[in-house]
Amino acid sequence: MSSCALKGNRRAPWFLMLLAWPAVVVHADTAVTSLPGNRFAANPLPVANQVVVHKGERRLELWRGRELLRSYRISLGLNPDGHKQQEGDFRTPEGRYRLNARNPRSDFFLSLAVSYPDKADVARARQAGVAPGGAIMIHGLPNQPKWSPDHYAKNDWTDGCIALSNADMMEVWMLVPTGTPIDIRP
């Protein structure tokens, strides 16, 4: 199993538990907290309805319609060129998927699951006689780092996931609802 896999057996830090608090109401184009007196009520956060990853540029973008909301630097799998072909190839997949789950208690600072593999990926792997792999996520840094912060900032280091800084991951977590389409381009 990929080291980017969802883990759910550890208790989340107290501040991450707040992320699961049912205080955010998502409207068609904005997220507004429903708690009275909250400063976000006057300045609603924009909600992305599309995530685009440009692998070659190491960039993740959040879009709402034709409006670019945010852009972030990312790290990819250790073998980033080309579409993921099989389990253990350290490639980040390419194509159109969905962000279909979120986990505040992963081995990394937050994680959003990418719906890889889809039916076409499974069929392609089956025809080649290999496992397609899975557990592809957008996530922050490891909770137990193996390298210096500089290494994570300057290198591709995941098993095939899309990694951001923890600060950027927190913002993506707040602006991207479950079910959002993600387009991963070469």
The model's pLDDT over 110-127, given as tens digits with 9 standing for 90+, comes to 999 999 999 999 999 999
Residue spans of alpha helices (H) in the chain: 14-17, 119-128, 149-154, 166-175
pLDDT at 4: 52
Q: Which helix (H) or strand (E) holds 118?
A: none
Asked whether 175 and 32 are in contact (CB, 8 A), the reply is no
Residue ranges of domains in the chain: 14-47, 49-185
- How many angstroms separate the CA atoms of 116 and 93, rounded? 7
138: tokens are: 């957008």
CA dihedral sign of residues 110, 64, 69, 18: negative
The model's pLDDT over 26-59, given as tens digits with 9 standing for 90+, comes to 434 444 444 445 555 556 778 999 999 999 999 9
pLDDT at 8: 46
- How many angstroms separate the CA atoms of 15 and 2, rounded? 27
Decide the pairing of beta strands 181-185 and 50-54.
parallel
**Strand order across the 45-46 sheet:** 24-26, 30-33, 45-46
Give the number of C-alpha atoms closer than 13 A to the C-alpha of residue 180, restricted to the C-beta side.
28
pLDDT at 32: 42
- How many angstroms separate the CA atoms of 152 and 109, rounded? 13
The superfamily in CATH containing domain 49-185 is: L,D-transpeptidase catalytic domain-like (2.40.440.10)
DSSP code of residue 75: B
In this model, does residue 68 exceed pLDDT 50? yes
pTM across the whole model: 0.77
